[in-house]
Amino acid sequence: MGQQQLLLVIVGVIIVGLAITVGLSLFDAQSIASNRDAMITDLQHISLLAYQYRITLRTMGGGQGDYTTFIIPLHMRSNGNGTYSITDPQVNSLTLQGVSTNNAANTITVTVDSHGKLGDLTFAGEFQ
């Protein structure tokens, strides 16, 4: 082979290597974003259950205007997306935290207000 052909082969290998590196980087970023979105959906679902509990009378198994006795149902505490817990139950608000199953440093903390709406979303780790 001539020097020009060797140079073209080397340049081709470098370009292919860069393309593979960029592709893997994009895949990782999409995986992280997908996990974050799935966890937000799970937290929204838990917040809806918490609000439903809050507005139900105690005689019917609810909290009667109070979040402090709400417990996340066992089947929703952990799934393929993350592990969820209550960190600060109060009468009119509830703080939920989700920890990613992919990376424990990736967390989402949300507050559920007295109307069942999510607020104060805080992201940590690769979710930022």
Q: Average pLDDT of each block of 10 consecutive residues along the chain (128 residues)?
A: 85 90 86 95 96 95 93 96 95 96 95 92 94
Find tokens 């838990």 and name the residue.
46
- In sign, the C-alpha dihedral spanning 69, 121, 47, 57 is positive
| Domain, as residue range, for 25 | 3-127
**How many angstroms from the chain centroid is the CA of residue 102?**
10
Report the side by side order of strands in the sheet with 94-100. 82-89, 94-100, 107-112, 118-124
Q: Taking the model in full, what pTM does it have?
A: 0.84
Structurally, how many domains does the chain consist of? 1
